[in-house]
Structure 1
Amino acid sequence: MSQSFEHLAFEHLDQATLKAWLDDARPLTLVDIRDPLSYAQGHIPGSRHLDNATVGDLLADTDRKRPLVVVCYHGHSSQQAASWLAGQGFECVYSLDGGFVDWQVRHPTRVAR
């Protein structure tokens, strides 16, 4: 009997929904997987930089029941990272559609530097 994997381990999240969640101060974990320089030059407020060096800390100190949103440049590589993180036991994992580039265009005043 083969096991079915028809559903994705993560969900897509649109920009408007993330903005609403942040406006409502909804508890969530926001991680940015872009390179360190890009992150330093601008990121969504409240996000933490995530790379191979910091993923251990994320796994060790993050509530896996809390929604986890993954941000990259355009919303492509965040899908792979979100899928991997879902496999690490995070229950609600999202990939931000359009990534940081779209966020910066739509919400220029909501970029931390």
Structure 2
Amino acid sequence: MTTFEHLDIPTLADWLDARRDLALVDIRDPQSFVQGHIPGSRRLDNATVDAFIEQASRDAPLVVVCYHGHSSQQAAAWLAGQGFAEVYSLDGGFSDWQLRHPDRVAH
């Protein structure tokens, strides 16, 4: 069974600082995403997921972000089943990222 891994916020910050090639997807609602998101992330929902799956690299790490790190686990497991080799769910979600890195939030 294809699965995902948990990713902590310090590791994601290190990856972003190192400009590691990765895909960062945010599954929160549109209004929450507009109010703030991790720089470089793109919003993913039922309407955009098919296009994302067609375009995204299956080899680059894929990090799924939600509010608190719960619903991203289901999405990460589903995306892992779509053939992505390295899928992560961000522990603590965007709310924890915003607490730890208020200077690293895009609007």
TM-score (norm. length: structure 2): 0.98
Question: Which residue in 1 is equivalent to 2:14?
Answer: 20
Question: Which residue in 1 is equivalent to 2:95?
Answer: 101
4+ residue segments displaced more than 6 Å: none
Distance in 2 (CA, whole Å) between partners of 1:55 and 1:106 is 29
Question: Which residue in 2 is equivalent to 1:69?
Answer: 63
Larger Rg: 1
Matched, 1:53 2:43: no
Q: What SS does the corresponding residue of 1:100 show, helix, strand or coil?
A: helix
- CA deviation map 1:1-59 (0-9, x unaligned): xxxx5xx6000000000000000000000000000000000000000000001001111
Question: Which residue in 2 is equivalent to 1:90?
Answer: 84
Deviation at 1:95, TM superposition (A): 0.1
For structure 1, the 5+ residue unaligned runs are none
For structure 2, the 5+ residue unaligned runs are none
TM-score (norm. length: structure 1): 0.93
Distance in 2 (CA, whole Å) between partners of 1:109 and 1:56 is 32
- CA deviation map 1:55-109 (0-9, x unaligned): 0111110001110000000000000000000000000000000000000000000
Distance in 1 (CA, whole Å) between partners of 2:44 and 2:99 is 22
Matched residues, percent identical?
Answer: 70
Question: Which residue in 2 is equivalent to 1:33?
Answer: 27
Question: Which residue in 2 is equivalent to 1:9?
Answer: 3
Question: Which residue in 2 is equivalent to 1:79?
Answer: 73
